[in-house]
Chains A and B, each alone.
Chain A
Amino acid sequence: MKLAYWMYAGPAHIGTLRVASSFKNVHAIMHAPIGDDYFNVMRSMLERERDFTPVTTSVVDRHVLARGSQEKVVDNITRKDGEEHPDLIVLTPTCTSSILQEDLENFVERAQLEAKADVLLADVNHYRVNELQAADRTLEQIVQFYVKKAIKAGDLQTEKTAKPSVNIIGFSTLGFHNNHDCTELKKLMGELGIEVNLVLPHEASVHELKSLPRAWFNLLPYRELGLLSAQYLESEFGMPYVDITPMGIVETARCIRKIQQVVNAQIAQMETGNPSELGGANRIPEVDFEGFIDRQTRYISQAAWFARSIDCQNLTGKRAVVFGNNTHAAAITKVLAREMGIKVVLAGTYCKHDADWFTEQVSGFCDEILITDVNAEIANAIARLEPSAIFGTQMERHVGKRLNIPCGVIAAPIHIQNFPVGYRPYVGYEGANQLVDLIYNSFKLGMEDHLLEIFGGHDTKEILTKEVANNAALHWSEDGLVELKKVPGFVRGKVRRNVEAYAIKRGTNSITAEVMYAAKESVGA
């Protein structure tokens, strides 16, 4: 047993549900007790989703404990098949079904006989993997399933597209700024003259998966989701993948150069492989993105110029702590250290399962590395290091509040304010602009705060909270004051004034709890 107050990565089934509900027309059925469908609330609230979340529960209750699920799971799958006509139903195990050890695979096989939809059992074990690992695994599972299905049916599309093209893998429901990143990367590919073949799993249809091999390569913007799928596609079809997160100016350039290399290698391969068809007039010219990178970096995107400007000079040597998932914490660490001259005193990740990758990425860009999923450890490190700014999750934001250190949120776990409606990508050239604002504003706020403290501030709180003048004759009794204290601070002044006004009107000069509640009622009257 472990005493835990807060967790960074959710349970495994959340990962499966994120992937399943990202696809179009895929329905997930959880094998879980009442109340475990909290995922639906999160999706509906955080993403302000207009549609019903395609997740239902096959409820595990006392009867299931006593006699097993029996027909229940199968019935629920076929019922959902009839109601919603999904392309795929993903049966999702939870911590509960992990211990019950029912033969869910058997239910899936039986349901498959009746259901028109394809039926899959998500191959995730609650006690072995977390949300991120489960998401990666489930995506791979779905990709494999449909690729194999297409091979069997003989309609797998293996012929490459005429022009260079890409599958972008890794955008999902409840992912940090995923919607905006997706738009930005599509735009970037467009500017590079690369066709987007498929985007996975966000809004993809499972029917499209048979055309996955048509793309020249796969692009993985995030370390956490898509790697298994890309590795599978590489081993099966020799599809290369680019797994450099284009976050920050330098990494974006590195990612684009890698794409250039991959594309040119394929052009070269095609020529040697099939010289007659692609030779002569049809020959595809090699790509050269250097001009694009240079122009974007120098003049179009503002990030590089900003780093040179006087404002950013003032940030030189300022101390920062970074904590988050692998992708974001590593990328932000590099941006801070390499692009803005900020001293990263500590960089950390909660992706313990992939700690080596993180260590390798941030080595040389920070003083200290912390791999932990215990929030007290990172909180203590922040308190010890006293940075000028923190870049972390919502938890670090609250640590910052307590210690009076500003915090920019760069990774999940996140709240509703981290699902902005406005365009806020983190990747590509616009993403670099956004990062500059985020980083600069975090430090500037801290600075302003500090200066105000030194010069005594310019706040005039006393004047604002001045009370009504003619209340000298009024007396608050003990119990009245006790009740008044129960009123939340930000409205207490108003309540006090209303109650006093009421007492004056009624000619009462002693305010008891009774008078106070009578006043509350009278406001309605």
Chain B
Amino acid sequence: MTTQAPSALNFECETGNYHTFCPISCVAWLYQKIEDSFFLVIGTKTCGYFLQNAMGVMIFAEPRYAMAELEEGDISAKLNDYEELKRLCLEIKNNRNPSVIVWIGTCTTEIIKTDLEGIAPKLEAEIGVPIVVARANGLDYAFTQGEDMVLASMAMRCPTEAAKPETAKPEAAKPEEKAVLKDTRPNLKQLLSFGQRSQAVDAIASTPSPAEADPYVDHAPLILFGSLPDPVVTQLDLELKRQGIKVAGWLPTKHYGDLPVIEEGYYAVGVNPFLSRTATTLMRRRKCKVIGAPFPIGPDGTRAWIEKICSVLGIEPQGLEVRERQIWAGLEDYVQMVKGKSVFFMGDNLLEIALARFLIRCGMTCPEIGIPYMDKRYQAAELALLEKTCQEMGVPLPRIVEKPDNYNQIQRIQELQPDLVITGMAHANPLEARGISTKWSVEFTFAQIHGFGNARDILELVTRPLRRNSALEELGWDKLVEAAQV
């Protein structure tokens, strides 16, 4: 596969001196998503301090995460890693009894070269709890990429039909499925029996009302990957159901034991732009066909996402145009508010391309999209849609700045005076004090922003500073630092 970077978009790379969250922050949302998991971050006080402060109130709700805090004896190898981890993991097993322990490797375990991948299988066999290793460290990755590392490791734990644990879903042992299960011959046979299995899965996973006929068409199994809040999972499932598409499973699931079956030849599609390693793993190691689509963020993105899935599965999409139009009609008041305004993304969570594309469709201009890491292959369809959107809206193409330099960006912001800067909390208050409206970027990763129904929530976030500032406009004190310091 050749990399098809849209030629007209301008890509740059700066110094990488930018502010973002450490990727270990992914435990904050993943431990809530995977309800029977326990996340053990193997690192130092620095990591612990970050998590403690970044997670705020969540820390007090008996979180299923902890630090394995490395002490001087661990660094100088006076203590044995295996024995130390065994002691802590047994303690966790006894106190919390999780179905899986996820080890998060950090900068320190990288530098002292702790062989987490090597220790985990041995310890797993010894204590009888699955141990998944994800190296989500600040040496290599930024913020949301932490989830990518965890999901890539989990993708390797998804069962195959043959290896599917009988106990995971006792009711799954339907006769016709068992026939498939027992068949250990080459995958071709399994590929041919798709229709059969997907019906079987239907019967298990949902309880359709008796009046309703099977709403799904016959298509190859489709796996969705990316951690989303449960309500959003339901919404996207329902959205695909309208097209007759059955979602065979999500990576991750609410329970570790329910990770979906993944077989060679399955289709997979990502819901978030930062999941390139998971996509690669599904493609190369699990032999899935990953559908390259824009991401279901904004009504335009959601529609393009569904259309792409439909086209790959050979389905004629139904009623999407009308649906998109209705959603846009519902957004009109907010769209009017942002139309013609400019937005500058400083870049810290990899959602930037998709969000910029949506906001340009809303009528905004975007001089710069900062982004920590740009996978032009995984995001190819999203980049193409961004370019198309700019052309259709008649606005200049943004410059895309990978590994941005925050200091330089601040200079550019001072020069451009954008109407809105989407940035981290480190810069938000200082920019506001200088009369520049900001939106805290991290909120986009925690808010529900996917699918048709949540487009309004994105604009709710984007317009909030604009609404607040127009409410205070007449007061006149918009610049609150002394002139010399501006």
Binding site for B on A (CB under 8 A): 1-7, 10-11, 13-14, 32-38, 40-42, 44-45, 48-53, 56-57, 59-62, 65, 76, 83, 94-96, 99-100, 126-128, 130, 395, 398, 401, 413, 415, 477-479, 483, 486-487, 513-514, 517, 520-522, 524-525
Query: Which chain A residue shows the least CB distance to B485?
Result: A51
The CA of A59 and the CA of B143, in the complex, are separated in Å by 15
- Chain A residues within 8 Å of B238, by CB: 513-514, 517
Cβ–Cβ contact A35 & B23, under 8 A: yes
Q: Say if the beta carbon of B195 comes within 8 Å of chain A.
A: no
**Given contacts A11-B46, A50-B481, A126-B44, A45 and B425 within 8 Å (CB-CB):** yes
List the 3 closest A-B pairs by CB distance, nearest first. A35-B22, A33-B138, A524-B330
Q: In the assembled complex, how far is the CB of residue B278 from the closest CB belonging to chain A, in whole angstroms? A: 20
Q: Enumerate B403-430 residues with CB–CB distance to A below 8 Å.
A: 407, 410, 424-430
Cβ–Cβ contact B71 & A2, under 8 A: yes
The CA of A355 and the CA of B427, in the complex, are separated in Å by 39
Cβ–Cβ contact A50 & B480, under 8 A: yes
Q: Say if the beta carbon of B59 comes within 8 Å of chain A.
A: yes
Cβ–Cβ contact B433 & A38, under 8 A: no
- Chain A residues within 8 Å of B72, by CB: 127-128
Cβ–Cβ contact B330 & A11, under 8 A: no
Cβ–Cβ contact B481 & A525, under 8 A: no
Interface centre among A38, A96, A127, A483 (most CB of B within 10 A): A38
Q: Say if the beta carbon of B310 comes within 8 Å of chain A.
A: no
Cβ–Cβ contact B45 & A7, under 8 A: yes
**Given contacts A56-B17, A95-B108, A96-B107, A1 and B69 within 8 Å (CB-CB):** yes
- Chain B residues within 8 Å of A4, by CB: 48, 66-67, 69
- Chain B residues within 8 Å of A14, by CB: 49
- Chain B residues within 8 Å of A479, by CB: 234
Binding site for A on B (CB under 8 A): 16-24, 42, 44-46, 48-50, 52-54, 56, 59-60, 63, 66-72, 74-75, 79, 84-85, 87-88, 91-92, 107-108, 110-112, 137-143, 207, 209, 229-231, 234-235, 238, 326-327, 329-331, 407, 410, 424-430, 433, 452-453, 455-456, 480-481, 485
The CA of A10 and the CA of B107, in the complex, are separated in Å by 18
Cβ–Cβ contact A44 & B407, under 8 A: no
Identify 10 residue pairs between A and B in the complex whose beta-carbon atoms are under 8 Å apart, listed by A's number: A11-B44, A13-B46, A35-B24, A35-B142, A48-B429, A50-B429, A95-B45, A395-B60, A513-B238, A514-B238
The CA of A10 and the CA of B139, in the complex, are separated in Å by 21
Cβ–Cβ contact B70 & A1, under 8 A: yes
Q: In the assembled complex, how far is the CB of residue A399 from the closest CB belonging to chain B, in whole angstroms? A: 9
The CA of A264 and the CA of B456, in the complex, are separated in Å by 71
Cβ–Cβ contact A65 & B22, under 8 A: no
- Which among B16, B56, B207, B481 is the interface contact of A34 at CB below 8 angstroms? B16
**Given contacts A44-B426, A44-B429, A1 and B84 within 8 Å (CB-CB):** yes
- Chain A residues within 8 Å of B111, by CB: 65, 96, 99-100
Cβ–Cβ contact A398 & B60, under 8 A: yes
The CA of A37 and the CA of B67, in the complex, are separated in Å by 19
- Chain B residues within 8 Å of A398, by CB: 60
- Chain A residues within 8 Å of B452, by CB: 521
Q: In the assembled complex, how far is the CB of residue A269 from the closest CB belonging to chain B, in whole angstroms? A: 44
Q: In the assembled complex, how far is the CB of residue B344 from the closest CB belonging to chain A, in whole angstroms? A: 16
- Chain A residues within 8 Å of B424, by CB: 41
Query: Which chain A residue shows the least CB distance to B432?
Result: A50
- Chain B residues within 8 Å of A37, by CB: 19, 426
Cβ–Cβ contact A59 & B79, under 8 A: no
Q: In the assembled complex, how far is the CB of residue B364 from the closest CB belonging to chain A, in whole angstroms? A: 19
Cβ–Cβ contact A36 & B330, under 8 A: no
For chains A and B in complex, what number of residue pairs have CB atoms within 8 angstroms?
Answer: 191
Cβ–Cβ contact B63 & A99, under 8 A: no
Cβ–Cβ contact A44 & B428, under 8 A: yes
The CA of A15 and the CA of B284, in the complex, are separated in Å by 46
Cβ–Cβ contact B49 & A99, under 8 A: no
Interface centre among A1, A13, A520 (most CB of B within 10 A): A1
- Chain A residues within 8 Å of B425, by CB: 41, 44-45
Cβ–Cβ contact A57 & B48, under 8 A: no
The CA of A327 and the CA of B75, in the complex, are separated in Å by 33
Cβ–Cβ contact A38 & B139, under 8 A: no
- Chain B residues within 8 Å of A130, by CB: 45
- Chain B residues within 8 Å of A59, by CB: 16-17
Q: In the assembled complex, how far is the CB of residue A50 from the closest CB belonging to chain B, in whole angstroms? A: 4
- Which among A1, A6, A100 is the interface contact of B85 at CB below 8 angstroms? A1
- Chain A residues within 8 Å of B480, by CB: 50
- Chain A residues within 8 Å of B18, by CB: 34
Q: In the assembled complex, how far is the CB of residue B401 from the closest CB belonging to chain A, in whole angstroms? A: 16
- Which among B59, B68, B453 is the interface contact of A517 at CB below 8 angstroms? B453
- Which among B67, B231, B326 is the interface contact of A3 at CB below 8 angstroms? B67
Cβ–Cβ contact B69 & A40, under 8 A: no
- Chain A residues within 8 Å of B20, by CB: 34-35
- Chain B residues within 8 Å of A413, by CB: 52
Query: Which chain B residue shows the least CB distance to A519?
Result: B453
Cβ–Cβ contact B53 & A38, under 8 A: yes
- Which among A2, A99, A521 is the interface contact of B75 at CB below 8 angstroms? A99
Q: In the assembled complex, how far is the CB of residue A75 from the closest CB belonging to chain B, in whole angstroms? A: 10
The CA of A204 and the CA of B306, in the complex, are separated in Å by 59
Interface centre among B22, B92, B428 (most CB of A within 10 A): B22
**Given contacts A2-B68, A41-B425, A483-B234, A52 and B430 within 8 Å (CB-CB):** yes
The CA of A126 and the CA of B111, in the complex, are separated in Å by 15
- Chain A residues within 8 Å of B24, by CB: 35
The CA of A123 and the CA of B85, in the complex, are separated in Å by 31
- Chain B residues within 8 Å of A60, by CB: 107, 139
Q: In the assembled complex, how far is the CB of residue B297 from the closest CB belonging to chain A, in whole angstroms? A: 16
Cβ–Cβ contact A5 & B75, under 8 A: no
Cβ–Cβ contact A41 & B426, under 8 A: yes
The CA of A76 and the CA of B405, in the complex, are separated in Å by 12
Cβ–Cβ contact B433 & A40, under 8 A: no
- Chain B residues within 8 Å of A40, by CB: 19, 426
Q: In the assembled complex, how far is the CB of residue A71 from the closest CB belonging to chain B, in whole angstroms? A: 13
The CA of A36 and the CA of B60, in the complex, are separated in Å by 23
Q: In the assembled complex, how far is the CB of residue A278 from the closest CB belonging to chain B, in whole angstroms? A: 43
Query: Which chain B residue shows the least CB distance to A84?
Result: B407
- Chain B residues within 8 Å of A45, by CB: 425, 429
- Chain A residues within 8 Å of B68, by CB: 1-3
Query: Which chain A residue shows the least CB distance to B456?
Result: A524
Query: Which chain B residue shows the least CB distance to A402?
Result: B60
Query: Which chain B residue shows the least CB distance to A55?
Result: B426
**Given contacts A41-B426, A50-B481, A415-B56, A5 and B67 within 8 Å (CB-CB):** yes
**Given contacts A41-B425, A513-B238, A34 and B22 within 8 Å (CB-CB):** yes
Interface centre among A13, A53, A487, A524 (most CB of B within 10 A): A524
The CA of A41 and the CA of B51, in the complex, are separated in Å by 13
- Chain B residues within 8 Å of A127, by CB: 71-72, 75
The CA of A3 and the CA of B455, in the complex, are separated in Å by 41
Q: In the assembled complex, how far is the CB of residue A480 from the closest CB belonging to chain B, in whole angstroms? A: 11
- Chain A residues within 8 Å of B139, by CB: 33-34, 60-62, 65
